[in-house]
Structure 1
Amino acid sequence: MKVMVGGTFDPLHDGHKRLLSRSFALAGPDGEVVIGLTNDAFASHKTHPIHPFAERKSDLEQYITGTITAAAAEKKYATRWEVEPLSDRFGSALDADFDAIVVSEETLPVAVEINKMRRAKNLRKVDIHQITCVLAEDGRWISSTRIWRGEIDTHGHLIRTQD
Structure 2
Amino acid sequence: MNVMVGGTFDPLHVGHKVLLRRSFEIAGKEGFVTIGLTSDDFASRKSHPVRPYEVRLDELIAWIESMNFPAAYQVECLADRFGSALNEDFEALVVSEETFPVAEEINSLRQEMGRGKVDIYKIRCIMADDGKIVSSTRIYRKEIDPDGHLIR
Q: In structure 1, which of residues 107, 110, 119 is the aligned counterpart of residue 102 of structure 2?
A: 110
Give the 3-state SS of the residue equivalent to 2:105 in structure 1.
Answer: helix
CA RMSD of superposed structures (Å): 0.4
Superposition map of 1:1-163 within 5 A:
1-66=1-66, 75-160=67-152
Deviations 1:55-82 (A, max 9, x none): 000000000000xxxxxxxx31111000
Once superposed, which parts of structure 1, at least 4 consecutive aligned residues long, lie more than 3 Å away? none
Q: Displacement of 1:40 after TM fit?
A: 0.4
Q: Which amino acid aligns with 1:55?
A: V
Q: Which amino acid aligns with 1:145?
A: T
Give the 3-state SS of the residue equivalent to 1:101 in structure 2.
Answer: strand
Q: Which amino acid aligns with 1:146?
A: R
Which consecutive residues of structure 1, in runs of 5 or more, have no partner in the other structure? 67-74
Distance 2:74 2:142 in 1: 31
Distance 2:93 2:60 in 1: 18
- Equivalent residue for 1:70? none
Identity of aligned residues (%): 58
Distance 1:82 1:135 in 2: 28
Distance 1:107 1:147 in 2: 19
Determine which structure has more spread, i.e. the larger CA radius of gyration. 1
Deviations 1:78-107 (A, max 9, x none): 110000000000000000000000000000
Q: Displacement of 1:10 after TM fit?
A: 0.0
Q: Which amino acid aligns with 1:103?
A: V
TM-score by length of 1: 0.93
Which consecutive residues of structure 2, in runs of 5 or more, have no partner in the other structure? none
Aligned residues: 152
